[in-house]
Structure 1
Amino acid sequence: MLPAEMVGGVSAGRAANLEVTGEALSTFVKRVDSALRNLEGSAGDPTRIGAQGIKPTSLNSGSSAAFPEAHALYLQYNRVHEELTSLSKTLHLQIEAIGIAVRGAHVGFDNLEEDQRRRFAEIQTRIQQIEDAKSDERRPEPTVSGSL
């Protein structure tokens, strides 16, 4: 049985702790916006990370002889590069979504401009697509037994 003050999901004490001032939200929005600007101006920007690829021939030193270690290094580099690019894109999207969510918490989500609500929904859809793609990559391939 829940205590009387918890009816509705949040106790009165916790509700008081969740209340924030408009000034605190504005300060937080400014910090989120600053973090987003810093990311966009840094080497961690998704566009910059995506442009930092290498070619398989870059590791062969001009030799036509097979160098399996170089090929393994190339494959590992590409795997890590793809992960970093994905992480950077996801981080960028999440910071943008936090900024919109904080604005919505301050003025009410229904009071946000339509383009902000639409962008928030687009971001959530894109993040879910990224997470689904990662889950699909990690899911083991079904095995087919040789005997029937």
Structure 2
Amino acid sequence: MLPADMVGGVSATRAANLEVSGEALSTFMKRVDTVLSELESSAGNPKRVGAQTINPASLNSGKHGAFPEADDLYAQYNAVHEKLTSLSRTLHLQIEAIGIAVQGAHRGFDNLEEEQRRRFHEIQMEIRRIGDAKGSKHSGDAKTGAM
């Protein structure tokens, strides 16, 4: 037989500990907003990361003949740069989504402004597109034997 304070397999004490207070959510929401603000003003901002490109001619002037290693270096730099830009963008989107989700948990998702619900849905769709693009690149790599 279950103890008197057990409700659906969870004690009343444990259930009370699982409840999220409005104050705790507000504190967490402020932390998420701070992290997002810091990311936007840092070198990790997706726009700043995306702007840090190099010109292939800066590695290989062509004056002294072919230099295939420079071309390889440029290709590797671009591959890493593309991944970092994608990672930065995804991180930015995830932090923004967490901020909206915390507000939804605090006030109820139905009580969020229409713009916030729309933005949350847009973020989810964009993250899915990024994931799908990564998946198709990896499956394409597997077909060609590339890594």
TM-score normalized by the length of structure 2: 0.86
Structure 2 unmatched runs, 5+: 1-5
CA drift at 1:79: 0.4
Residues 78-110 of structure 1, C-alpha deviation per residue, up to 9 Å, x if partnerless? 000000000000000000000000000000001
Q: Name the residue aligned to 1:75.
A: 75
Q: Name the residue aligned to 1:146.
A: none
3-state SS in 1 of match to 2:54:
coil
1:43 alignment partner AA? A
Quote the Cα distance in structure 1 between the aligned partners of 2:72 and 2:14: 54
Residues 98-148 of structure 1, C-alpha deviation per residue, up to 9 Å, x if partnerless? 0000000000001000110010000000000000000000002289xxxxx
Identity of aligned residues (%): 66
Quote the Cα distance in structure 2 between the aligned partners of 1:24 and 1:106: 9
Aligned length: 137
Q: Name the residue aligned to 2:113.
A: 113
Quote the Cα distance in structure 2 between the aligned partners of 1:63 and 1:73: 18
Q: Which has the larger displacement, 57-66 or 127-136?
A: 57-66
Quote the Cα distance in structure 1 between the aligned partners of 2:121 and 2:64: 50
3-state SS in 2 of match to 1:23:
helix
Q: Name the residue aligned to 2:30.
A: 30
TM-score normalized by the length of structure 1: 0.85
Cα root mean square deviation, aligned: 1.9
Quote the Cα distance in structure 2 between the aligned partners of 1:72 and 1:92: 30
Q: Name the residue aligned to 1:131.
A: 131
Q: Name the residue aligned to 1:52.
A: 52
Quote the Cα distance in structure 2 between the aligned partners of 1:108 and 1:74: 49
3-state SS in 1 of match to 2:37:
helix
Quote the Cα distance in structure 2 between the aligned partners of 1:82 and 1:135: 15
Q: Structure 1 runs of 4+ off > 4 angstroms? A: 4-7
CA drift at 1:61: 4.2
Structure 1 unmatched runs, 5+: 144-148
